[in-house]
Amino acid sequence: MIEKVLIANRGEIALRVIRTCKALGIKTVAVYSDEDTNSMHVKQATEAYHIGEATPAKSYLNQEKILDVMLSSGADSVHPGYGFLSENDDFASLCEKNKITFIGPSADSMNLCGDKMKCKAAMLKAEVPTVPGSPGLVKDADDAEKIANDIGYPVMLKSVYGGGGRGIRIVTNDKELRDGYESVTGESIAAVGKSAILVEKFLEKTRHIEYQFARDTQGNAVHIFERECSIQRRNQKLIEQTPSPIVDEETRARVGELVVNAAHAVDYTNLGTAEFLRADNGLIVEIRAADEEVAVVSTEDSFLFARACYHLGNRHVPLQIGEGWLRIQRDHVLENMVQSLGLLVSHQLAPFEPESGAYSGQTNHSHSHSHKTEV
């Protein structure tokens, strides 16, 4: 039974958790940085503790400091909200070792979902069909070509270590595949020092549909129906509609059962999201995994935001731009630079889908970074 929850987050996110805990009669513990001393979540919580400077690395991402507060306050659970430490398997493991309930998936589940190969293998073992492609890593270009001809072009060459459009090529014939294989291998080695390539069928003309699901620690799981999310701008959803106008009752029940099976396969606990692509040949489902570690730069000052975009763009840095925030790959030099301009930097595990710019080459399909399963 949960009696006291520490909320390892700030602002509106923390307020949502506090409001729910109050309704359930659960005590709350807020943490705050120098910048948030007078924030509403600090005032609304049962208790509040200062954890450091405004820089997230010295406060909301400081695992040891947050653990100290959990232990000293007597909190038996921690709610990470989203962002910050919410998809950090090290933090989840730290909580588990100290017998504190992490309200989210387990560290092992995060690790499994974050590994393309292991996650796909888990889906196959659970008899959740996957996108046609290589059952494992391809040995060489000849192996990739054989698989591509077996499943039919177009296909995607994907580096296991890629992300955000790097290490991915869409190819439509044998020549493009061989040229692309060399490029993907080179990009992956340049980025992380090693290469491991998958081949998957590339799907065109798709619709984006999501299911949410819940699973408890006793293995009870349910799906919470679907949302139509196909209207997007720069791969970001603009409108969500439920129920989806293209999902009938039979399909809804059938895919919902697969979502539950997938949750069991990765031993996922708490709430999660499964994403689907409806293609000409059916539905494609993907379990939403922890994507890649990125730095999130944010500010409410439009002038500072423009300056950050200018300086990062001037260095030809891939950027994903949102309303008042942008994502970049982790780089302590760039992070220090934008912090010196007066912007906040936090770290997250999230999709990284940068803008296509003048220096971009062939881009990837908007859903190619995830683990997909054909229904």
Cα–Cα distances in angstroms (integers) from residue 11 to residues 61, 82, 104, 290, 298, in the given order: 15, 12, 19, 23, 14
pTM for the model: 0.68
Confidence of residue 83 (pLDDT cuts 50, 70, 90): confident
3-state secondary structure of 307: helix
CATH number among 1.20.1260.10, 3.40.30.10, 3.30.70.790, 3.50.50.60, domain 292-350: 3.30.70.790
Stretch among 201-205, 353-357, 361-365 having the lowest mean pLDDT: 361-365
Average pLDDT (331-340) is 88
CATH number 3.30.470.20 given to 207-289: yes
Pairing of strands 101-102, 155-163: unpaired
Per-residue model confidence (pLDDT) at position 368: 34
Residues 6+ away with beta carbon under 8 Å from 275: 208, 209, 210, 211, 229, 285, 286, 288, 367, 370
Average pLDDT (148-170) is 80
Confidence of residue 351 (pLDDT cuts 50, 70, 90): low
Superfamily, domain 132-202: ATP-grasp fold, A domain (3.30.1490.20)
135 versus 243: which is more confidently predicted? 243
Q: Is 82 exposed, middle or buried (0-12, 13-18, 19+ CB in 10 A)?
A: exposed
Six-digit token pair at 130?
A: 């996957």
Confidence of residue 371 (pLDDT cuts 50, 70, 90): very low
Per-residue model confidence (pLDDT) at position 243: 94
For the chain, percent of residues with pLDDT exceeding 70: 85
CATH architecture under which domain 4-104 falls: 3-Layer(aba) Sandwich (3.40)
